[in-house]
Amino acid sequence: MTQPDRNLELFQRAARVIPGGVNSPVRAFKAVGGTPRFISRAQGAYMWDANGQRYVDYIGSWGPMILGHGHPEVVEAVQQALHAGFSFGAPTEREVELAEAILQRMPSMDMVRLVSSGTEAAMTAIRLARGATGRSKLIKFEGCYHGHADALLVKAGSGLATFGNPTSAGVPPEVVQHTLVLEYNNVAQLEEAFALHGKELACLMIEPIAGNMNFVRASIPFMRRARELCTEHGVLLVLDEVMTGFRVALGGAQSVYAKQIPGFEPDMTVMGKVIGGGMPLAAFGAKRAVMEHLAPLGTVYQAGTLSGNPVATACGLATLRLISQPGFYDALAAKTQALTSGLLAAAQAAGVPFSVDSEGGMFGFFLMPDLPQNYATVMQTDSKRFNHFFHSMLDAGVYFAPALYEAGFVSAAHTDADIAHTVDAAKSIFASL
């Protein structure tokens, strides 16, 4: 007698009470088909589903679980915080500590405000950029995700003069009429857009290493030019480091770019994911002159009942403390590279077109011979092949992101044996592709 599939049972039950059975669309496995795994618990590099099947987890809650699941020092910090109270709606010392910890590690900012989600942080960063500059328009790039604020759910219009069209029902066209969507890594288009609209732009928002179209780096010339154009036109350069912040390096992706572009700094930074260590916590920050436009000092309104939540800040602080130990990122990057080079060798041995890139504990792989530079190229991936690879790996106990446009994440808890198991599984699957 076969065991009942608890994942399937739960998915069917969930679908009756939650739209699509999930509380965030990618979890529904719509891109890859099949039944989403309902996770019952996780520890270290592993998650267990409702059937008791174990997976090596390369999602890590989409980035936050950089230490692996249930790190004892983080659990201890959260437990202590819980006993002192869940939420006060009044300021706490730990918020100050977390703000100081973030600013110390990312010197481009003088002040931060803590919020509860990346969406909220990006949405407010745009409001602040508009309030601080007195301008309305903004640039974003195709394939970059900055959460689901209305003004950011937008795709390119028919030309550089026409601005964007909503990508979601429920977003009136007027709401995105100030959002200009450009192609990632296209310097000529960027220059043209600034020539046309430079003086009306409040900000340019970008994922420096885009993790929402798998893994695509902004090229050095592109990022350098973006910085120059923003400075020339008084436009705020906003790096969305919700995914990359404290994930690719302790100083975020901005520290990676600063190594190659002397003096490089964003005007504003949006953070989330790792800074909460798996709890709802995000932030945005900038220089003092910009941040002082925020209420209660200035005229740009923002607020949050659970902002700077005492349990979330305890989790974030404990996480930041642990990832700041010397050598942490070198070791994490080495693990990630062992994985990516192993996958590449396995694909090459089987004659499967494959390319792969990583920075710190974040990686992406493509079933194509060369690394793509923009969203349109990413989406040329053979999705049937990807889905076959994804499901075969899942059956082998390896949980990669269930969509070809998502990045992957390695944690400090992944062992050599986990990576070897992953590469071995990939070897036999590539041979069958």
Ligand X SMILES: *Cc1c(COP(=O)(O)O)cnc(C)c1O
**Least CB distance to ligand X at residue 275 (A):** 11
**Least CB distance to ligand X at residue 119 (A):** 3
Q: Mapping DSSP to helix (H, G, I), strand (E, B) and coil, where does residue 56 land?
A: strand
Number of separate helices (H) and strands (E) present in the chain: 13, 18
Query: Which of 46, 55, 58, 145 is flagged as catalytic?
Result: 145
Q: Angle, to 10 degrees, between the axis of helix 310-323 and the axis of helix 93-105?
A: 30
Give the residue closest to ligand X by C-beta: 118
- The nearer residue to ligand X, 303 or 417, going by C-beta atoms, is 303
What pairing do the DSSP bridges indicate for beta strands 268-271 and 236-241? parallel
> How would you class 245 by CB atoms within 10 Å of its CB: exposed for 0-12, middle for 13-18, buried for 19 or more?
buried
**Least CB distance to ligand X at residue 281 (A):** 9
- The nearer residue to ligand X, 212 or 313, going by C-beta atoms, is 212
**Least CB distance to ligand X at residue 334 (A):** 24
**Least CB distance to ligand X at residue 21 (A):** 19
Query: 């950089």: which residue's tokens?
Result: 66
- The nearer residue to ligand X, 193 or 210, going by C-beta atoms, is 210
Q: 240 catalytic, yes or no?
A: yes
Query: Which of 49, 57, 240, 357 is flagged as catalytic?
Result: 240
* 427/405 Cα distance (integer angstroms): 22
- CA angle 329/75/245 to nearest 5° reads 35
Query: Which of 137, 140, 273, 335 is flagged as catalytic?
Result: 273
**Least CB distance to ligand X at residue 385 (A):** 25
Q: Which residues bind ligand X (CB under 6 A)?
A: 117-119, 122, 145-147, 207, 211-212, 240, 242-243, 272, 282
- The nearer residue to ligand X, 153 or 346, going by C-beta atoms, is 153
- The nearer residue to ligand X, 115 or 193, going by C-beta atoms, is 115
Cβ–Cβ < 8 Å for 278, 61 = yes
Closest CA to 48 of 18, 74, 70: 70
User: What are residue 165's DSSP bridge partners?
Assistant: 155
Cβ–Cβ < 8 Å for 302, 295 = yes
Count CA atoms closer than 13 A to 27's CA, side-chain side. 16
- The nearer residue to ligand X, 32 or 283, going by C-beta atoms, is 283
Q: Angle, to 10 degrees, between the axis of helix 220-233 and the axis of helix 252-260?
A: 100
* 432/70 Cα distance (integer angstroms): 36
Active-site positions?
145, 240, 273
